[in-house]
Amino acid sequence: MHGEYKMPGGKLVVIDLALRGDRLADVQLSGDFFLEPDHAFACINAALQNLPAATDELAIAAAVHAALPAGVRMYGLSPEAVAVAVRRAVQAGIA
């Protein structure tokens, strides 16, 4: 499943994932934003892994925010933008 979101004033956020039962799996974040340090990608992907597919945007954004290491810098990206892309990917897969 694939979801994209162009964050207002930001960059393109892309999520690719699969569903295993009713849970997110094989989650991969990408896009044309900048994220420092690089290992923050793995933190975000891990935070999304195994979340229930029905999780709402607010809870997804909270999970992403909680997983971010101290001092992370996001340029053109936010936890809320990740959440929108995740919901779009899930909804595209259900449709």
Instruction: Give the pLDDT band (50/70/90) at residue 87.
Output: very high
Packing angle, helices 79-94 and 57-67, rounded to 10: 130
CB of 84 closer than 8 Å to CB of 57? yes
User: pLDDT confidence of 95, banded at 50, 70, 90?
Assistant: low
Cβ–Cβ under 8 Å, residues 9 and 73: no
Domain ranges of the chain: 2-94
**pLDDT tens-digit readout, 41-81:** 999 999 999 999 999 999 999 999 999 999 999 999 999 99
Helix (H, G, I), strand (E, B) or coil at 10: coil
Please give the model's pTM, rounded to 2 decimal places. Answer: 0.94
Q: What's the topology of domain 2-94? A: Enolase-like; domain 1 (3.30.390)
Strands of 1-95 (E only): list them: 2-6, 12-20, 23-31, 34-36, 73-75
Place of tokens 């259900």: 94
